[in-house]
Structure 1
Amino acid sequence: MTKAMGAAMRRIQAGSALSAFGLGFTVPYLYVYVAQVRELGATTAGAVLAVLAMAALVVLPFSGRAIDRRGPMPVLLVAALLASAGALGLGLATSVPAAVASAAVLGAGTAVMQPALATMIVWCSSPASRTRSFATQFFLQNLGLGVGGLIGGQLVDESRPDSFVLLFSIEAVMFLVLAGIVLTVRMPGSPALQDTRPGSSRPGGVRALLGHKAMVQLCVLGFVLFFACYGQFESGLAAYGTEAAGIEPSTLGIALAANTAVIVAAQFVVLKFVERRKRTRVIAAVGLIWTVAWLFAGYAGLGHGSQAMATAAFVSTYALFGLGEAMLAPTVAPLVADLAPESMVGTYNSAFALVKQLALAVGPAIGGPMGATLHGPYIVTFVLFSLGISYLAVRLGRQLTPVQNQPSLAAKPSKIVARYEPQRETAAA
């Protein structure tokens, strides 16, 4: 990584962390704010959360092509401004239409920020440094979310709507800070990525992506990963813990704190382990770790131990999920970037973000009812999903070049294999 790339990367990482810090102020309290503080009811609160997800599903299919044609910086600026307007609108919303509309704007803005930031990281990193760059982003985002939530919890007061206006105002300002930082970034002219610059004439489109077997398999694997973990955190697993394991609602906060603590503590220790190993083997190991996590959850709800042991097992489930997340951060996102043709980095990042959003939408819808009522089948289902992660990871490994699977081999010239390039299309995708 050159000096210019390093300087740009530091600014990008700082902006990403500060935007996560702003999100942390409001994410834990959004439901309570809409339903109770603004007295709009549980139905409206559920609609606001649903609109946040649906807005992302609407805009992500178009964001990738925009990033590849215009570059990530203009797209990120627009997304940050939209997110800021949406956050401020939610803070001031006193009616159902205003709350739903603001949620749509906020959801669209934050969704597009993810692939735009990922593309900027790709532009400012080399294949050798990309693993560490994405791990650093994941670490700083989790730290920002945690610190923001902690501070927000000290400022919030359900009897004072003004305290929530303050939280949403801080969130809006952090998105503006991100936009300001992005304006100061001077993107380096990396020779390896010249064809990703706006105006490239190289072929692309959804058809080319769907014709890339390795990327399609990675998207399937990504859906299972996000469905079996993030899609259960605040829905199925929480419902299972309170209904089957008798976990107090306050313990859910402790479990989430344990998850974040493991990520923050383990990220760079895990990074040293991951950097010299095949990516698909690391992902397969995550599947096994999460299998153990679901078995711990099974013991918490279906075992015959004391309540203290059930609580410890349940918290351990979240901690093991955190360990797996720390292993995935330097593995999956860089792999998406390394699979992408040089002219389609934004398209590939947006496609994978769309897969994640789909999993986060489907996960609660399926896991929530199962976790609340079908306790045994719920655990069995997600043990099988976790084992499926290991199987899909091993299968994906057969589609990757040695360097794509283990970037450290790039230091050995004889091992370098040409990357995938899409066939030129005869019609626009």
Structure 2
Amino acid sequence: MRRIQAGNALSAFGLGFTVPYLYVYVAQVRDLGATTAGAVLAVFAMAALVVLPFTGRAIDRRGPLPVLVGAALLAAVGALAMGLASGVPSAVLAAALLGAGTAVMQPALATMIVWCCSAEGRTRAFALQFFLQNLGLGIGGLIGGQLVDESRPGSFLLLFSIEAAMFVVLAGIAATVRMPRTAAITDSRPGESEVHGRGGLRALLGHRAMVQLCVLGFVLFFACYGQFESGLAAYGTEAAGIEPATLGMALAANTAVIVVAQFVVLRFVERRRRTRVIASVGLLWAVAWLFAGYAGLGHGSQAMATAAFITTYGLFGLGEAMLSPTVAPLVADLAPESMVGQYNSAFALVKQLALAVGPAVGGPMGAALHGPYIVTFVLFSLGISVLALRLGRGLTAAQDHPHLAAKSRVVAQHRPERQPVESAA
């Protein structure tokens, strides 16, 4: 588990070097124009949508290790190719390789975490993964910002080379991992269930709780991540008069809240029902959107608007810290023995769809329809709470409240039994 988490942190560190600067690199440094830059970003997202439907079955049939190693090497090739790209075809091809590789790594890493810990330990394992991802992205972005220079294309080649090196390191670390053969992961290994070979999309769509969780996940990602760098950013600059530099501060505040609050929040989260925690996140994000509404629609000073806008991103970060130990472990607990990879891939696909649809819907609304934009996403946030509570009705105690279920099993196992008193005769 330590090796998996270390590799996860290093890959996030590499991504942090380049993700914030990809648009600038294609449009301005390589002088390919805004249209090409938008196409490259679209290909980056579409590549994930193409490969994820096939990723889960590959993980369940071959295991997550070879899939992760292959994806990391593919992403490394894509990153290096992006640093060397000088024309439209090469930039688009590099974006496709990079997007496909990074997309496949997510469910592969999640499945490895499931294999390496018990059901009771998944909450903390996924919380640690999310913490390290954000820490790596934040540190990578900060260092990358100091190295990048728009007047020197070589500085961007350095960034992409560092990203490629991090992916190679991830592949190397993953190749040394030996999955433990313990009872904790027996039920998560492929080929040990009657469902094996009969699973696939039909079995997943027939699992009502998983379908409900996918719908809930789409709304979660659509109302949060899908708005960060599109609709909410457009709303902030157009309605609230936020400077571009302040957007960077708001994103930094989001990451800082996650890093600082993750393990404090974990103590609160792991002793409560997962669906109620998700429902409380919906209420918290509704408040965050009201702060955004005040920033753009209120009549206070610019300083108050800026503070309210940064608070919006901070509240989003607090909600994300509450979700990381609940949603991903719930996906794993819902999955049948032989379909852990397919369930993780399906949920990753839902996330990618939300990240693709979110900017397309939120961007124009945030830029032009300021009042309707805030009202819409306050309602979406409240919808998260409703969907979460409905999901909770169909979950078992072990799925919705694993801490209490584990405690009950331990008590039952160690309960002393009265021994009959045998007669001396």
Q: TM-score range by the shorter chain?
A: over 0.9
TM-score w.r.t. the length of structure 1 is 0.94
Whether the aligned pair in 1 keeps the contact of 2:190 and 2:339 (CA below 8 Å) is no
The answer as to whether partners of 2:114 and 2:188 remain within 8 angstroms in 1 is: no
Aligned to 1:391, which of 383, 386, 392?
Answer: 386
Residue 84 of structure 1 and its aligned partner are, at CA, apart by 0.2
Code of the residue aligned with 2:19 in structure 1: it is V
Asked if 1:134 is matched to 2:97, the reply is no
Which 5+ residue runs of structure 2 have no aligned equivalent?
413-425
Match of 1:155 among 142, 147, 155: 147
The yes-or-no answer on 1:380 pairing with 2:372 is no
Change (3 A) 1:35 1:66: same
Q: Does 2:56 align with 1:60? A: no
The CA deviation string for residues 10-34 of structure 1, in whole angstroms up to 9 with x for no partner, is: 0000000000000000001000000
Aligned to 1:224: 219
262, 272, 277: which one pairs with 1:277?
A: 272
The residue number in structure 2 matching 1:421 is none
Q: Which residue of 1 aligns with 2:289?
A: 294
The answer (yes or no) to whether the contact 2:118–2:185 under 8 Å persists in 1 is no
Larger mean CA deviation between 57-66 and 197-206 belongs to: 197-206
Question: Which AA in structure 2 matches 1:290?
Answer: W
* Structure 1 residues 117 and 198: CA distance shift in structure 2, 3 A: same
Q: Match for residue 331 of structure 1?
A: 326
The AA in structure 1 aligned to 2:325 is P
Larger Rg: 2
Residue 403 of structure 1: how far off its partner (Å): 1.2
Q: SS of the counterpart of 1:343? A: helix
Instruction: Give the CA deviation at 1:199.
Output: 4.3
Residues 223, 355 of structure 1: 8 Å contact kept: yes
How many angstroms apart in 2 are the aligned matches of 1:201 and 1:383? 43
Distance in 2, Cα, partners of 1:193 & 1:269: 28
- Map residues 355-370 of structure 1 onto 2, 5 A cutoff: 355-370=350-365
Alignment partners' CA distance in 1, 2:311 and 2:96: 35
Show the counterpart of 2:300.
Answer: 305
In 2: Cα distance, 1:48 partner to 1:35 partner: 10
The 5-angstrom pairing of residues 4-43 of structure 1 reads 9-43=1-35
Partner of residue 401, structure 1: 396
Tell me the residue number matched to 2:407.
Answer: 411
For 2:142 and 2:233, the matched residues in 1 are separated by: 20
1:317 aligned residue (312, 315, 320): 312
> Do residues 93 (structure 1) and 85 (structure 2) align?
yes
Matches within 5 A, 1:163-182: 163-182=155-174
Aligned to 1:206: 201
Per-residue CA distance 1:21-66 (angstroms, 9 max, x = gap): 0000000100000000000110110001000100000000000000
> Match of 1:307, as an amino acid?
Q
Q: Distance in 1 between matches of 2:127 and 2:285?
A: 19
Q: 1:199 to 1:397 in 2, by over 3 A?
A: closer
How far does the alpha carbon of each residue in 1:147-177 deviate from its partner, in whole angstroms, 9 at most, with x for none?
0000001100000000000000000000000
CA contact (8 A) 1:336 1:348 kept: yes
- For the 8 Å contact 2:73–2:168, the answer to whether it is kept is yes
How many angstroms apart in 2 are the aligned matches of 1:337 and 1:140? 20
**For residue 280 of structure 1, what is the amino acid of its counterpart?**
T
How far apart in 1 are the matches of 2:262 and 2:152? Answer: 38
Asked whether the 8 Å contact 1:70–1:199 carries over to 2, the reply is no
Gaps of 5+ in 1: 1-8, 417-429
Distance 1:85 1:195 in 2: 35
Equivalent pairs, count: 408
Q: Which residue in 1 is equivalent to 2:62?
A: 70
Q: Secondary structure at the match of 1:98?
A: helix
In 2: Cα distance, 1:202 partner to 1:310 partner: 58
Whole-angstrom CA distance in 2 between matches of 1:194 and 1:270: 30
One-letter amino acid of the structure 2 residue matched with residue 219 of structure 1: C
Where 1:362 maps in the other structure, the secondary structure is helix
Once residues 163 and 301 of structure 1 are traced to their aligned partners in structure 2, the CA distance between those partners, rounded to angstroms, is: 37
Matched, 1:260 2:252: no
Name the SS for the 1:412 alignment partner.
Answer: helix
Q: Quote the offset at 1:200 in angstroms.
A: 4.5
Which whole-Å CA distance do the structure 1 matches of 2:272 and 2:135 have between them?
Answer: 26
Alpha-carbon distance in 2 for matches of 1:163, 1:324: 36
Letter in 2 for 1:301: G
- Shift of the alpha carbon at 1:198? 4.4
How big is the shift at 1:189? Answer: 1.3
Decide whether aligned partners of structure 1 residues 24 and 414 sit closer, same or farther in structure 2, where only a CA change above 3 A counts.
closer
Q: Which residue of structure 2 lines up, in the alignment, with residue 82 of structure 1?
A: 74
Q: Where in structure 2 are the equivalents of 1:89-128 lying within 5 Å?
A: 89-128=81-120
Partner of 1:400, secondary structure, is: coil
1:238 aligns with: 233
